[in-house]
Amino acid sequence: MEYTVQKLAKLAGVSTRTLRYYDEIGLLEPARKNSSGYRIYGSKEVDKLQQILFYRELGLDLDSIQKIISNPSFDGPAALRMHREKLLARRRQLDLLITNVESTISAAEGKSTMADNEKFKGFKQKLIDENEQQYGEEVRGKYGDATIDKSNAKMLNMSEEKYEEFKTLEKEVLSKLAEACETGDPSSELAQKTADLHKEWLSFTWPTYSKEAHAGLAQMYVDDERFAAYYDKGCEGGAKFLRDAILVYTGAEPESSID
Amino acid sequence: MEYTVQKLAKLAGVSTRTLRYYDEIGLLEPARKNSSGYRIYGSKEVDKLQQILFYRELGLDLDSIQKIISNPSFDGPAALRMHREKLLARRRQLDLLITNVESTISAAEGKSTMADNEKFKGFKQKLIDENEQQYGEEVRGKYGDATIDKSNAKMLNMSEEKYEEFKTLEKEVLSKLAEACETGDPSSELAQKTADLHKEWLSFTWPTYSKEAHAGLAQMYVDDERFAAYYDKGCEGGAKFLRDAILVYTGAEPESSID
DNA sequence: ATTACACCTTTACGCTGCGTCAAGGTCAAG
DNA sequence: CTTGACCTTGACGCAGCGTAAAGGTGTAAT
């Protein structure tokens, strides 16, 4: 299948100017030009454009995209899987922002109050995430974890000790969960203690706590593979167990946990 | 509480240049300037900045943001609720993109194939959504629904008849759901027929069908208030009923379903 | 055969939302 | 009174295109 600029543009939902620009900077060159100089694109270019748009969607600049896909060791399927991971991460970031908006709403309605620094937590968490995603791996390798952690703590306006505390608590939640999970009973004392620790841990980053949000997050842990994998590490079915424990903890009716 | 540029910048996670720029274009002016010309911001400005960042996060340009928040009839809480809706919409858009990536992965693995126009569906759906969000209300009022629907069909590369078919099917799903819902039995023949229609409807916009994705979407209908409200219109608890019917339809083990 | 019209080309300037110097004033601490 | 971390107002630069301007091309209908 061959496409002229406009046909490909329509297909992909971009402007012809964009295609010409991509040609100009060498990001996406047409398969050939016909006798009158018309740009002709083939199916290889269609696939490449799709990839470019995937990465553009992630917020990468065209220069980075070029480097990524022109890399000789570029592994298509692996890149796609990474891409998927990042999209999932972005969804989690969105959930954070939504929580932030909801807190703001409830604050506006007088149901609670927000300190000034709480008002920006969602945005800053995003900065951290973007940083981590783009440079985390390289920099962690080069300068070690301490540098990164310090920067993260700074961005969250936490003191370093607070951040340490935060990370310690996180580990505690994980180990308690592993322990509790083996009993198999989400309403056991140990499991409830785990849920309580989890709430405490949450309070570090969430502006305001609500049972509903807590339960909702727990459900997300099960639905989102990355979270699930994280909590399943210590113990088989850990994410589900944690969710059930939190459901008991927050007092959700077991019959219809969601509404 | 009073802030200088840098203090506010740190608080909000933006640069001082950004704050000066916002002052320059009149988007966010300091509460006052001290005797040496230093910008001093108060708590009113903190709140305003938070709102600005909310809208910026949505991808609005600063000019639009200014118009929105300087509107004398600007209703803070209502805007926040709308904002929340839009974030939820974006999350749904993200889910679409994720589905698209997953299809691409499975296509790359040879498990299925994708037509050229399928490769861009996620991106274009986004264009439609953005259009709808930004101009939908105004334009629908001015030019009527037909104009919009036509444009949507075009963008999705559907023929107009196909799009009509799509919309008819959508209505059919809703009415069948209302009928089936009253029987109260998600495994009833009528309910299963509804699930089947729903699958058919999905196939219009989803590149590839999988039981897991179908079941996942059904759960999302329950979790996301906007979807829930949509499916609850015809019948009380419609979203949940549809989810349960789809779970039966896709043969998901009832144990791993949510409740 | 020409006219119409939708396509295509290159060249080039304009825009947003800042980043990034540059050149200089201010303020608190030592 | 010096140091250093603040602040100020310019002014230029940049990506990623949008948007004309001026002109060549393909083809269907007259």
Tell which wins on pLDDT, B84 or A213. Answer: B84
If asked whether residues A46 and A134 sit together in one domain, one would say: no
Mutate to test the interface with B, among A51, A56, A75, A94 (most CBs of B within 10 A): A94
Q: Take residue A125 and report the two structure tokens written for it.
A: 């968490």
- Summarised one tens digit per residue, pLDDT across range B75-104 is 666 667 767 777 776 676 677 677 777 777
Q: What is the pLDDT of residue A107?
A: 67
- Summarised one tens digit per residue, pLDDT across range B121-171 is 556 555 445 444 443 343 333 333 443 444 344 333 343 444 455 556 667
A101-107 contacts at long range (C-beta below 8 A, 24 or more positions apart): A101/B54, A101/B80, A101/B83, A101/B84, A101/B87, A102/A213, A102/B84, A103/A206, A103/A207, A103/A208, A104/B50, A104/B80, A105/B77, A105/B80, A105/B81, A105/B84, A106/A208, A106/A210, A107/A208
Please answer yes or no on whether A120 and B47 come within 8 Å at the CB atom: no
If asked whether residues B186 and B259 sit together in one domain, one would say: yes
Q: Are B199 and B181 in contact (CB under 8 A)?
A: no
Tell which wins on pLDDT, A1 or B126. Answer: A1
If asked whether residues A55 and A94 sit together in one domain, one would say: no
Please answer yes or no on whether A88 and B97 come within 8 Å at the CB atom: no
Q: Take residue B133 and report the two structure tokens written for it.
A: 């969000």
Query: Where residue A124 falls among pLDDT bands split at 50, 70, 90?
Result: low
Q: Take residue B74 and report the two structure tokens written for it.
A: 């600007």
Q: Which residue is nearest to nucleotide C6 (CA to C1')?
A: A6
If asked whether residues A215 and A173 sit together in one domain, one would say: yes
CATH of the domain at B206: 1.10.490.50
Q: What is the mean pLDDT of chain B?
A: 70
- Beta-carbon contacts of B56 under 8 Å, excluding residues fewer than 6 positions away, are B62, B65
Whether the beta carbon of B39 falls within 7 A of nucleic chain D: the reply is yes
Choosing from A141, A157, A173, the residue where a domain stops is A157
CATH of the domain at A48: 1.10.1660.10
If asked whether residues A131 and A46 sit together in one domain, one would say: no
Please answer yes or no on whether A84 and B98 come within 8 Å at the CB atom: yes
Task: Give the Cα separation of A176 and B102 in Å (integer).
Answer: 34
Q: If you count residue pairs, one on A and one on B, with CB atoms under 8 Å apart, how many are there?
A: 114
Q: What is the pLDDT of residue B207?
A: 39
User: Residues of A with CB below 8 A from B88's CB?
Assistant: 98
Å between A106 CA and nearest CA of chain B: 9
Residues packed against strand C, CB within 7 Å: A 4-7, 16, 20, 37-39; B 15, 17-18, 21, 34-36, 38, 56, 61-63
Task: Give the Cα separation of B218 and B222 in Å (integer).
Answer: 7
If asked whether residues B10 and B56 sit together in one domain, one would say: yes
Choosing from A44, A70, A96, the residue where a domain stops is A70
Protein-contacted positions of strand D (CB under 7 Å): 6-9, 15-19, 24-26
If asked whether residues A122 and A196 sit together in one domain, one would say: no
- Summarised one tens digit per residue, pLDDT across range B3-45 is 999 999 988 889 999 999 999 999 999 999 999 999 999 999 9
If asked whether residues A64 and A103 sit together in one domain, one would say: no
Mutate to test the interface with B, among A48, A75, A104 (most CBs of B within 10 A): A104
Q: What is the pLDDT of residue A59?
A: 78
Closest nucleotide relative to residue A24's CA, C1' based? C10
Choosing from B157, B174, B201, the residue where a domain stops is B157
**Kind plus residue range of the DSSP H or E element containing A33:** strand A32-33
Please name the member of B101, B120, B223 whose beta carbon is closest to the beta carbon of A80. Answer: B101
Quote the domain boundaries for residue A153.
Answer: 76-157
Å between A44 CA and nearest CA of chain B: 11
If asked whether residues A56 and A126 sit together in one domain, one would say: no
If asked whether residues B144 and B178 sit together in one domain, one would say: no
Q: What ipTM was assigned to the predicted interfaces of this complex? A: 0.53
If asked whether residues A164 and A183 sit together in one domain, one would say: yes
If asked whether residues B193 and B239 sit together in one domain, one would say: yes
- How many domains is chain A partitioned into structurally? 3
User: Residues of A with CB below 8 A from B53's CB?
Assistant: 120, 123
